[in-house]
Chains A and B, each alone.
Chain A
Amino acid sequence: MGEFAYVAPSNVADAVGVLHDHANSGRRAQVLAGGTDLLVQLRGLDKAPRTIVDVKKIAETNRLDIGSDGIYIGAAIPSAVLNENQELKSLLPGLIEAADLIGSTQIQGRASLGGNLCNSSPAADTIPAMIADRGVCVIVGSGGEREVPVEAFCTGVGTNVMTGDEFLLGLKFPRPPANTGDAYLRFIPRTEMDIAVAGAGVSVTLDGSGTCTAARVGIGAVAPTPLLVPEAAAALVGTAVDDEALAAAGAACSAAASPITDKRGTVEYRRKVVAVLCRRAGAIARDRALAA
């Protein structure tokens, strides 16, 4: 049995080196960002020793770049910091809304988009919003950097495409074109501090006459992984994102869902609620696009 150890490498090469050494020698290493999932897990059933690799001291995981053609959000930036950035909030309000739903003030002081994604819970709030916003994961390892669309990142409940010595550096988003709006809504039985029964993120782009030219819909907590729903987007494109189109997009979300029954909701309930959330988030995204 190994020992617990903590390292906080200051650059990507050192972090990959530590992860590489561990992967090669069969020792366990686990990346730490805000710790709001990881520390709960360390206190739970899985107390096995490991090396904790804190990636918060690396420049690339903390960088926030808002450029003319794209946005880069470091994987470890706490949600409270994102929420305080007015430019980001005005460009991707739906994503920031989703990040702002994570836990309490205390949790938001630490919780990152990268941690929410890498924990790969089906109910993670920011993942459907990142899918809607065409997010791309920047992953680094000894084999170099690679990019994976957010919708292809999670492979199952708590699993994802990263292997061996890889970790997440950050997330890239295209800068939203003119007349684009996004929104994320989840349903929880309480008003704060709960896990989504279902969630939906929508992004729409309109032309000068208010007709939808592009759309993306992501849904969460209704399948083993968050899903991109191209059929829901197709139902919006070419319309004015009116009630009829939104109803069709909602129906496509219900059809794409393959939920489970648990204490938070039944299969039937989740299918129904995800359609409602898609309709409502779609209407908000449309209104934001009209105002943008």
Chain B
Amino acid sequence: MSKMHIRTTINGDQVDFLGSPQQSLLDALRDEVGKLGTKEGCGTGDCGACSVIVDGRLVCSCLMLAAEAEGAEITTIEGIAEGDGLHPIQQKFLEHAALQCGVCTPGFIVAAKALLDRNPNPDERTIRYWLAGNLCRCTGYDKIVRAVQDAAQELAHEA
């Protein structure tokens, strides 16, 4: 099957890879680019484990073709930390024990980052609706919501 040459920017770096026409962005990130932080839960848009930010919008990478990413700017979980330090959202997930098995965590953190980039001070309802497309089978969500609220406060202090 003929491969396509796809040029993207991932976490600020120019990344070119070869992908097949029906390959999802999720599979390309994992299998061609070697970014294994982005997870597959369902492959059908229901769980949000595969969340990435493409040209400023939060999307499910399992519902996007790699070919559609030509020329796109992509942020994955690997691009959230600042240098060697954790991003406040990551730090707060640890402090609040907002993860257990961790499969959903990259998706939640990327989704929370997309939210706080747009709305630095979301109320609980806004956070819960924004994250409704991210499923977690372990934590019961409460600790995740607290972590995001706390991260928002921390970011407000930093600013």
Name the contact of A42 in the complex, choosing from B22, B46, B132 (C-beta under 8 A): B22
Is residue A200 within 8 Å, beta carbon to beta carbon, of the partner chain? no
Across the interface, name the chain A residue whose C-beta is closest to B134.
Answer: A104
- Tell me, rounded to whole Å, the shortest Cβ–Cβ distance linking B58 to chain A: 5
Is residue A160 within 8 Å, beta carbon to beta carbon, of the partner chain? no
Of the listed stretches B62-70, B81-89, B150-158, chain A binds B62-70
Count chain B residues whose beta carbon lies closer than 8 angstroms to a beta carbon of A.
34
* Chain B residues whose C-beta falls within 8 Å of the C-beta of A69 in the assembled complex: none
B59 touches A32 (CB 8 A): no
Across the interface, name the chain A residue whose C-beta is closest to B54.
Answer: A109
A4-B20, A193-B133 as given contacts; A107 in contact with B111, CB under 8 Å: no
B45 touches A40 (CB 8 A): yes
A105-B111, A109-B58, A110-B63 as given contacts; A4 in contact with B45, CB under 8 Å: no
B4 touches A107 (CB 8 A): no
* Chain B residues whose C-beta falls within 8 Å of the C-beta of A52 in the assembled complex: 21-22, 65
Interface residues of A in 163-206 (CB under 8 A from B): 192-193
Chain B interface mostly: mixed
* Chain B residues whose C-beta falls within 8 Å of the C-beta of A36 in the assembled complex: 45, 60, 63
Count chain A residues whose beta carbon lies closer than 8 angstroms to a beta carbon of B.
28
* Chain A residues whose C-beta falls within 8 Å of the C-beta of B1 in the assembled complex: 3-4
**Interface bits A66-99 vs B (CB < 8 Å: 1, else 0):** 0000000000001010000000000000000000
Is residue A210 within 8 Å, beta carbon to beta carbon, of the partner chain? no
Across the interface, name the chain A residue whose C-beta is closest to B60.
Answer: A106
**Interface bits A43-72 vs B (CB < 8 Å: 1, else 0):** 100000100101010000000000000000
State in angstroms the CA–CA spacing of A246 and B58 once bound together: 40
**Interface bits B102-115 vs A (CB < 8 Å: 1, else 0):** 00000000010011
